[in-house]
Amino acid sequence: MPSRSEFLFLFALSLCLCSPFTRADTLKITSTPPGATVEINGVVVGTTPYEEEVPGGYFHKTKTALGRRLQNPMAARIRLAGYTTKEIQMTEGPMNWVSLKGHSHGEYWLLKLKSFHVELDPISKVFTGNITADLPKASDERRDAELAPEPPLEDVIALAKPAVVRLKGLGKSGSGFFVTEKGVIATNAHLVRGEGSLIAILPGGQQLAANIIHIDTDRDIALVKVEGDEFPYLSLGAASNVRQGETVIAIGNPGDAMPFAVTKGIVSAVGKFSAAGPGIWIQTDATINPGNSGGPLLNARGQVIGINTLKLEKKNVSGIGFAISASDLLAVLLKYYPDPLSPGGKQLLSSPDSTAGAKSSPPGQEFGTIELREPKAAEVYVDGKFAGDIPWSSPLAAGKYYVIVVKSLGQADWSKRIYVFASVHTILTPWPE
């Protein structure tokens, strides 16, 4: 027979186990339309409507050492072929659990809601308008461009500034810029993550609701959209055309300073920089402060060559800022806009659905196209980077090998190393019978 002290301990234990802080509860994720793939923290867990039993401690503040606590943040990614992908920041925190005796037992997070719902937007209705891009030039064309006179910087700024916006969320603010005349804005992923929507403030003071339509966390690139037409927008310049030492201009909204401010510098370096993340990075001594994030880094001809992303914060270090290249932004946009225009309005690449079955290229450009049609909603990775969901088609620079990987729930990854030939449209079939 248990002693009195043992009995009191067992009684207290039963109260803890029966409390709402330890009982299991149901987490629900739904979408309109249903049938979308649900991915939580990078792991595919099912399709909408999705339900899972989770410990009650995931929803309630910790009151006892017993029961389970959520020891990491949770984010869900909801995707369906033909619709824009939505991301949900599901948790709040971190919180520090301190016992009644004042001892810290570590950090934990809480789920914000028991039920999350997303409205998925058709791609055809969201990604409207045109993008313009100055793709890599042949050596003779590049020489001609270098010899062409550059306009005065004040004229470049005057033309570019109307296309720059200030973005404000609940707890963050930064910058962005229009990439189409139909209201699509490019910015940084770290600025929009966790935000349901943002406010876009135009240079003239007009405020518009901005909905998040795409997040690429690997490249730290996001796209948001405001409703409207005939917005001024900026042309993108390829990273391969960026020269070390050339003049650059950063436009953005730094801290509590005057909005839509301009700083000037040079390209200090350009290339891979793993400490900042994947992709091509442009290092510059143009001042980039908090609030500049997401704004354009322009060359002296007014083309966007990068998205201002961060500055190096170290003791005895100054004048070092980084922008993710416009080529990385273009790689994101080409998933939705297969027909970029030249700055003069000329079409650069034909549609992937062209009856000719091949892409044409401007002089000096060599591209091929890779297309996958099945299985629907499977993920496509190119050289280890997420490229989109099937159905998927993309132009790739010709004359080199790429590793194409397809990931689908319930199957082993399919992989193929393929050489891309100029002006050839190749349709791949994963897991052929």
- 28 and 148 together in one domain: no
- 165 and 153 together in one domain: yes
Q: Which has more confidence, 127 or 240?
A: 127
Band of pLDDT at residue 359, cut at 50, 70 and 90: very low
- Give the domain-ending residue among 332, 359, 380: 332
- 97 and 127 together in one domain: no
pLDDT confidence of residue 393: 87
Please tell me which of 69-78, 87-96, 197-206 the model is most confident about, judged by mean pLDDT.
197-206
Edge-to-edge strand order for the sheet containing 86-89?
Answer: 43-47, 37-40, 75-79, 86-89
- Give the domain-ending residue among 119, 144, 179: 119
- Give the domain-ending residue among 119, 144, 163: 119
pLDDT tens per residue, range 297-355: 999 989 999 999 976 655 555 668 899 999 899 888 988 887 676 666 554 433 333 22
- Residue 273 maps to a domain: yes
- 260 and 178 together in one domain: yes
Q: Say if CB 93 and CB 109 are below 8 A apart.
A: yes
- 308 and 416 together in one domain: no
- Residue 339 maps to a domain: no
- 261 and 129 together in one domain: yes
In terms of Cα–Cα distance, which of 113, 353, 390, 142 is closest to 242? 142
Q: What is the mean pLDDT of residues 16-34?
A: 73
- 289 and 149 together in one domain: yes
Residue burial 353-369, b: 16+ Cβ < 10 Å; e: rest: eeeeebbebbeebebbb
Asked if 293 is an active-site residue, the reply is: yes
- Residue 242 maps to a domain: yes
- 142 and 289 together in one domain: yes
End-to-end CA distance of the chain: 68
**Catalytic pick among 31, 173, 175, 293:** 293
Query: Which CATH number does the domain housing residue 398 bear?
Result: 2.60.40
pLDDT confidence of residue 329: 93
358: pLDDT strictly greater than 60? no
Indicate the number of domains in the chain.
Answer: 3
* Domain membership of residue 78 as a residue range: 4-119
Q: Say if CB 52 and CB 139 are below 8 A apart.
A: no
Cis peptide bond N-terminal to 203, omega within 30: no
What is the share, in percent, of the chain residues with pLDDT greater than 90?
A: 38
- What is the reported pTM? 0.69
- Residue 341 maps to a domain: no
Secondary structure (DSSP) of 344-392: TS-B-S--TT-TT-S----TT--EEEEEE--STT-EEEETTEEEEESSE
pLDDT tens per residue, range 134-169: 766 555 555 555 656 778 889 999 999 999 999 998
- 236 and 210 together in one domain: yes
Query: Which CATH number does the domain housing residue 135 bear?
Result: 2.40.10.120
- 62 and 189 together in one domain: no
Asked if 274 is an active-site residue, the reply is: no
Asked if 117 is an active-site residue, the reply is: no
- Residue 343 maps to a domain: no
**Catalytic pick among 190, 218, 342, 423:** 190
Q: What is the mean pLDDT of residues 282-293?
A: 88
- 176 and 295 together in one domain: yes
- Residue 174 maps to a domain: yes
**Catalytic pick among 134, 173, 214, 220:** 220
- Residue 141 maps to a domain: yes
- 136 and 111 together in one domain: no
